[in-house]
Amino acid sequence: FFFYCRLGIVRMSRCVARVSLLVLSYEDALKFYCEVLDFEIKEDVLLGEDKRWVTIIPKNNGAGGGCEIVLIKAEGDAQRNAVGNQTADAVAMFLFTDDFQRDYANMKLRGVRFLEEPRTEPYGTVVVFKDLYGNHWDLIQPSDA
């Protein structure tokens, strides 16, 4: 199959297509990711009385490439206790942008909690923020963007 990545359209036999993220509520998660972080719903399919298949991607996600996030409603104590801390306070997700200042300013206006001031690293401009559950994310504009 063909996949769009930062290198252009390439033929790949393997790729990471989706990652899962535990949430307490589909509605709360969708409101945050779509209204605050400017993602869009790619799929939302009812699978049962209280279970859905929900995937989200950032708006303007290149040529449709990149990894999708599957929102999984936590079930049971173990999953509920892991919501917001799936990576033990390490950065869980990396949101790339082609305009750091635009996205950083928009996110600040929408009330996103940043854990630091933006900084420049050899790989680009970066800042760490928390999502609605406390998961840590990097907003990154790569050096070559």
pLDDT in tens, 5-52: 555 555 666 778 899 999 999 999 999 999 999 999 999 999 988 899
Q: Give the global pTM.
A: 0.87
| Residue pLDDT, tens place only, 97-128 | 999 999 999 999 999 999 999 999 999 999 99
What are the backbone angles phi and psi of residue 103, rounded to the nearest 5°?
Answer: -70, -40
Q: What is the pLDDT of residue 3?
A: 47
Distances (CA, A) of 99 to 35, 63, 139, 142: 18, 17, 10, 10
Which among 136, 12, 30, 122 is positioned nearest to 2, based on CA atoms? 12
The pLDDT of 44-73, averaged and rounded, is 89
What is the structure's pLDDT at 9? 57
pLDDT value, residue 64: 57
The Cα 131–Cα 114 span in angstroms is 9
